[in-house]
């Protein structure tokens, strides 16, 4: 009976870890999106518009550089999450734990989609 209790506890811990990783990834993506939207709102504008640059001032190269740096930081964090998912999948495969393996592969897939999404979002910003 104790054997089953420990496997249930292990599954619940793995589920909590997955939820935590998904929440962290979502939070990071939302923060990056809000930062980029606020930068865009004050950095760009039509000629003569409310946010237009004064005459003789260059374009938005600094904004583009800052957005690029922010997205590479986010990609690095997402890559660390993906690597932890890969390590979890490999460890669970060695322990013959299909739930842990699936959790690790799911984490890796979510991180991969998040990593790819950063490129798409950066193009939109």
Q: Are 44 and 64 in contact (CB under 8 A)?
A: no
Q: Could you tell me which of 71, 85, 79 has the C-alpha nearest to residue 29?
A: 71
Q: Determine the pLDDT at residue 15.
A: 87
pLDDT surpassing 70 at residue 47: no
Q: Determine the pLDDT at residue 40.
A: 58
The tens digit of pLDDT for each residue in 54-104 reads: 565 555 667 778 888 888 999 999 999 999 999 999 999 898 888 989 999
* Category of 47 on φ-ψ map: left (φ > 0), alpha (ψ -120 to 50) or beta: beta
CA–CA distances in Å: residue 121 to residues 4, 53, 114 = 44, 24, 10
Q: Determine the pLDDT at residue 61.
A: 67
Distance CA 98, CA 19 (A): 18
């Amino acid at each position: 009976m104790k054997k089953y209790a420990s496997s249930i506890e292990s599954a619940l811990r793995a589920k909590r870890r997955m939820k935590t990783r998904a929440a962290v990834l979502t939070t990071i993506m939302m923060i990056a999106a809000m930062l980029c939207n606020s930068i865009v709102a004050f950095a760009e504008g039509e000629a003569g518009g409310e946010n237009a640059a004064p005459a003789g001032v260059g374009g938005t190269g600094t904004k583009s550089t800052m957005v690029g740096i922010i997205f590479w930081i986010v990609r690095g964090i997402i890559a660390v999450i993906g690597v932890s998912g890969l390590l979890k999948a490999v460890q669970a495969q060695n322990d013959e734990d299909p739930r842990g393996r699936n959790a690790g592969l799911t984490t890796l897939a979510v991180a991969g989609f998040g990593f790819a999404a950063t490129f798409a979002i950066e193009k939109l910003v």
